[in-house]
Amino acid sequence: MNLFEKEALAKLKAEQLEQASAEEVLQYAVETFPKITLACSFGAEDVVLVDMLQKISPKTDIFYLDTDFHFKETYETRDRLADRYGLKFVRAAPELTPEEQAEKFGPELWKSNANECCNIRKVGPLTTILTKYDAWITGIRRDQAPTRANAKKVEYDAKFGLMKFNPLASWTNEDVWAYIRTNDVIYNPLHDRNYPSIGCEYCTRQVMPGEDPRAGRWSGQEKTECGLHK
Ligand code: SF4
């Protein structure tokens, strides 16, 4: 399939699957693209997808971007999920250790140049790992941020050159938490401490009442996304 055919297929399936449930989108994705993977940040949306995937296609690879800068609660959530489902998450790691990064770019690159830091610790490892697959699954939702408002349930991801599935694109935050409660899904306890969106420890703060749920990410900077999603 050439680029135009992939884009046309994504557009057609996005229309056909717009009213489909998240499980139906996942089912279509894993059946149509055997070389598929789920990107997991261990946030609320992603643990929903981990749970669904264990019921639909438990052998599907699930990876996480280990920036080395996650909260300890995030690593603990990874381990608790792995224990419950008996799965091993694939670790996608940066080429530079934190020490090598500090030596090359100076200390606290996340303060001096957050885009460069995200490129090294997230975008680079994501680019590498996605070359092994024909499609990836993410937990992005349209109402998370204006940058995500046009997300389709099926897209052709031109940035990384593969199909992209967003089964929760039409879900609300309430839908996510209803699924977690109903299915007793393990989740990051930081969500109960005013961290609606959780990234690296250096770039995530608690959100105050009335603030946007993503206000705690790169607070004080113009940056709102890591560069993983267009
Ligand atoms: S979120 Fe912050 S610490 Fe993490 S990779 Fe991006 S800039 Fe670096």
Query: What is the C-alpha to C-alpha distance for residues 41 and 66, in angstroms, rounded to an integer?
Result: 9
Q: 142 by DSSP, 3-state: which?
A: helix
Q: Which of 95, 110, 201 to mutate to test the pocket of ligand 1 (most atoms within 8 A of CB)?
A: 110
Determine the distance separating the centroid of ligand 1 and the alpha carbon of 188, expressed in angstroms: 19
Determine the distance separating the centroid of ligand 1 and the alpha carbon of 4, expressed in angstroms: 34
**Among protein residues, the one whose CA lies closest to atom 4 of ligand 1:** 200
Query: What is the C-alpha to C-alpha distance for residues 108 and 117, in angstroms, rounded to an integer?
Result: 9
Query: What is the C-alpha to C-alpha distance for residues 71 and 85, in angstroms, rounded to an integer?
Result: 22
Handedness of CA 15, 19, 21, 27 (dihedral sign): negative
Asked if 226 is an active-site residue, the reply is: yes
What single DSSP character describes residue 204? Answer: B
Q: CB-based contacts of 101: which residues, under 8 Å, 6+ apart? A: 94, 109, 117, 120, 121
Determine the distance separating the centroid of ligand 1 and the alpha carbon of 225, expressed in angstroms: 10
Q: pTM here? A: 0.94
Instruction: Domain ranges for the chain, please list them.
Output: 3-195
The domain made up of 3-195 has a fold known as Rossmann fold (3.40.50)
pLDDT in tens, the chain (230 residues): 888 899 999 999 999 999 999 999 999 999 999 999 999 999 999 999 999 999 999 999 999 999 999 999 999 999 999 999 999 999 999 999 999 999 999 999 999 999 999 999 999 999 999 999 999 999 999 998 888 999 999 999 999 999 999 999 999 999 999 999 999 999 999 999 999 999 999 999 988 878 887 777 777 777 677 777 76
Give the CA distances from residue 64 to residues 67, 102, 191, in Å, rounded to whole numbers and listed in that order: 9, 23, 18
Residue 141, φ and ψ in degrees, nearest 5: -125, 150
Please answer whether residues 89 and 64 qualify as being in contact, where contact means their C-beta atoms are separated by less than 8 angstroms: yes
Residues within 6 Å of ligand 1 by CB: 67, 69, 110, 114, 117-118, 121-122, 199-200, 202-203, 226
